[in-house]
Amino acid sequence: MSDLRKSLVLHGGVLVLLFGLQFVLPAYHHGVVARVMVMASYAIGYNVLFGYTGLLSLGHAMFFAAGMYGMGLTVGVLGTAPALAFGVVAGALLAAVVGALALRTAGVAFMIVTLMFAQAGYLTILYFGTYTRGDEGFVIPQAQRVLGAVDLSDPANRYFAALALFALCLMVSLRLVHTSFGRVLIAIRENEERARMLGYNVFARKWAAVVISGTLSAAAGAFYGLLFGYAGASFAGVQYSIFPLLWVLLGGAGTVLGPLVGTLFMFYLIDLSSGVTSAYMLIAGVALVLLTLFAQQGLMGEVRARVWRWLP
């Protein structure tokens, strides 16, 4: 089997498995996996920038929140489908502006600039508390969560919508690594100056990566609001910028399946620990330190290094 075929079989198999799971999972885990798929889509968006382009953003929550609030604040006026589209476009535009500014810096400065922009975004949501209800957030009424004739508040429909979003993001990511554009992103990650001196417009490609990454993150945010019927400022906070970094590091940066594996693993780790302690962010903290110390490549990165060399 060619490497490409192996990869298609593997990723197709994962999607089929996720599709089949909905019929066997008990109600609680059914809900968790739906949530994981939406968050894994967010992580896939993050991975485009961090894993493939080598740019570490500490502010992706602003894109997630742009999608969530872009959808949530307009859904009452525009209707469900246009509001969803509005959220995604809002995230894409934000990413275009932030990318154009932040990419003038590199390394640590890029991390801090993205962190600051996201913090300004979070504070802006608090400042306009009249509309956003600040930290408390707002509920999206069930009547507005109907896409076409499909009621997304119904668990089965919700699972299916989450799977559709995840499958789309996974395919975008898988396609990306096989295009020459995606390969140039990897080249930029590996050696930016060499890529420039091969004649590639490095800035334009990094900017495009920020926009793609921000758009996928915004789509995840908009879907999250719609599927779970809630938008709140905490989704724009620092924690939600750290989460995708953690999930991607854990699952394996620069691997197509890494974001799903990392998100799933972390969700269940926190879920299991919640019986022991309410301080679940402790688990996240310990995981971050241990990952930086001992497992830079993450789970799927280790799999690629040891078993499946062809893993994209």
Partner 1 sequence: MDFGPYLFLATLEGAVGAAVLALTAVGLSLVFGVMRVVNVAHGEFFMLGAVLAWWVATTVGGHPALGFGVALLVAPVLVAGIAAAVDMTVLKRIEYDPERTIVATIGLLYILQQVTLMTYGPDARPVEPPFNARLALPWVEWAEGGLRMYWPWGLSTTSYKLAVIGAAVVVLLGVWALMARTRIGLLMRATQLDREMALAFGIPVERIYALVFGLGAGLAALGAVLVVPIQQAHYLMGADPLLLSFIVVIIGGLGSLPGTVLAAVLIGLSDGIISVFFSPTLAKILATLLVALVLVFRPRGLFGAQAV
Partner 2 sequence: MAAVSLLETRGLSKHFAGLRAVEGVDFTLPEGEVRALIGPNGAGKTTFVGMLCGRIAPSSGTVAFEGRDISHLPAHRRIGLGMAYTFQITSIFARLPVLENVALAARRRLKGAAVTRASLAALERVGLADRADQIAGDLSYGHQRLLEIAMGLVQAPRLLILDEPTQGLADSEIADFKALVRGLVVETTVLLIEHNMNVVMETADRITVLNFGEVLAEGTPAEIRANGAVQAAYLGTG
The residues pairing with 151 across neighbouring beta strands, listed in sequence order, are 146
Quick check: 287 binds partner 1 (CB under 8 A)? Answer: yes
The answer to whether the beta carbons of residues 279 and 270 sit under 8 Å apart is: no
Three state DSSP letters for 253-279: CCCCCHHHHHHHHHHHHHHHHCCCCCC
Residue with tokens 């269940």: 268
Give the C-alpha separation, 9 to 142, whole Å: 38
Residue 198 contact partner, candidates partner 1, partner 2, none, CB within 5 to 8 A by sort of partner = partner 2
The answer to whether the beta carbons of residues 267 and 35 sit under 8 Å apart is: yes
Quick check: 96 binds partner 1 (CB under 8 A)? Answer: no
Minimum distance, C-beta of residue 247 to partner 2, in the bound complex (Å): 23
# residues contacting partner 1 (CB under 8 A): 38
C-alpha torsion sign, points 225, 229, 233, 239: negative
| Near partner 1 in 37-56, by CB under 8 A | 56
Q: Which stretch binds partner 1 (CB under 8 A): 3-11, 139-147, 202-210, 283-291?
A: 283-291
| Near partner 1 in 215-274, by CB under 8 A | 242, 245, 249
Give the C-alpha separation, 47 to 254, whole Å: 6
Q: Which residue, 124 or 153, is less far from partner 1 as judged by CB?
A: 124
Binding site for partner 2 (CB under 8 A): 180, 183-184, 186-187, 190-191, 193-202
x/- site string to partner 1, residues 108 to 147, per CB under 8 A?
Answer: xx-xxx--xx-xx--xx-xx--------------------
Quick check: 282 binds partner 1 (CB under 8 A)? Answer: yes
Residue 149 contact partner, candidates partner 1, partner 2, none, CB within 5 to 8 A by sort of partner = none
Q: By C-alpha distance, which of 122, 174, 143, 152 is closest to 9? A: 174
